[in-house]
Amino acid sequence: MSGHSKWATTHRQKEANDAVRGKLFSKLSKAITIAVKTGGSDSPDSNLTLRIAIDRARNGNMPKDNIDRAIAKGRGGEALEQVSYEGFGPFGTSLVILVASDNRNRTGQEIKNVLERGGGKLTGLGSVSFNFEPKGLIVVNKKDSSENDILTLIDLGVTDVEEKDGEYFAYVETHDLFEMKSKVEAKGFSVSNFELIQKPKTYQKLTSDQMERFDGFMKNLESHDDVQRVFSNVASA
């Protein structure tokens, strides 16, 4: 009996892991397809967004066949578009939500429902995006002392550096992302992530209790099948 129970538990865990993996691959695939559709080029190297999407897919252990199919869908005119929504989360927090949708009316209504259930609301374009600016983000592991590391990164040309949980968040201009990543790695730093983001110009601080509720709200929003990225103005603890 115990053996059967152990097998059942393992089977359920595998099913759960497979479901999470499948959902991740679906989101990564949509990101690649959208990047191909909006890039206007057949060459991945000529399209910054596509290069990042493919890199994220590879880092997520997405099989090459899946990546190739996602590229083919983009070139084949897949009925998918990137849509940006703006709104407020709980406690008046500001949100910019990027989705990949084949039906913007359906997706818009679903996002509206998720926001309202979590204590937020969907707003019009421009209502919160004025407080965000596009940036390239390079997440760098510590190498030396904090002061030396930060000075080195600034000398390389990053526009801003934040230290968080043993890592540096180095911000650069979007068009400089790949060049700066190469420069950072050439200095001996290990890069754990790099991407295009919407960086808040000003941040909002939450209490620990508020942050717990906000984290739950964000997990629920980010779990939506069409949601690609969510950017908020909440300051990390």
**Full pLDDT tens readout for the chain, 237 residues:** 334 444 343 434 444 455 677 889 999 999 999 998 887 544 444 478 888 899 989 988 999 999 999 999 998 878 899 999 999 999 999 999 999 999 999 999 999 999 999 999 999 999 999 999 999 999 999 887 888 999 999 999 999 999 988 899 999 999 899 899 999 999 999 999 999 999 999 999 999 999 999 999 999 999 999 999 999 999 976
- Give 16-66 as a DSSP string: HHHHHHHHHHHHHHHHHHHHHHHH--S-GGG-HHHHHHHHHHHHTT--HHH
- Phi then psi dihedrals of residue 114, to 5 deg: -60, -45
Question: Cα separation of 101 and 215, whole Å?
Answer: 24
Domain boundary among 10, 44, 75: 75
27 and 69 share one domain: yes
178 and 134 share one domain: yes
36 and 60 share one domain: yes
219 and 110 share one domain: yes
CATH number for the domain spanning 208: value is 3.30.70.980
Cβ neighbors of 70 (< 8 A, separation 6 or more) are: 28, 29, 30, 32, 33, 36, 57
Structural domain harbouring 56: 2-75
18 in a structural domain = yes
Question: Cα separation of 89 and 115, whole Å?
Answer: 6
Question: Cα separation of 211 and 217, whole Å?
Answer: 10
- Give 69-115 as a DSSP string: HHHHHHHTT-S-EEEEEEEE-GGG-EEEEEEEES-HHHHHHHHHHHH
Q: Note the pLDDT tens digit of each residue in 62-85.
A: 999 999 999 999 988 788 999 999
213 in a structural domain = yes
Given this model, what pLDDT does residue 17 score?
Answer: 59
117 and 137 share one domain: no
134 in a structural domain = yes
The SS3 of residue 235 is coil
Angle between helices 64-75 and 2-39 (to 10 degrees): 40
Count the domains in the chain.
3
CATH number for the domain spanning 36: value is 1.10.10.200
Strand partners, 229: 98
Q: Note the pLDDT tens digit of each residue in 36-59.
A: 888 754 444 447 888 889 998 998
68 and 183 share one domain: no
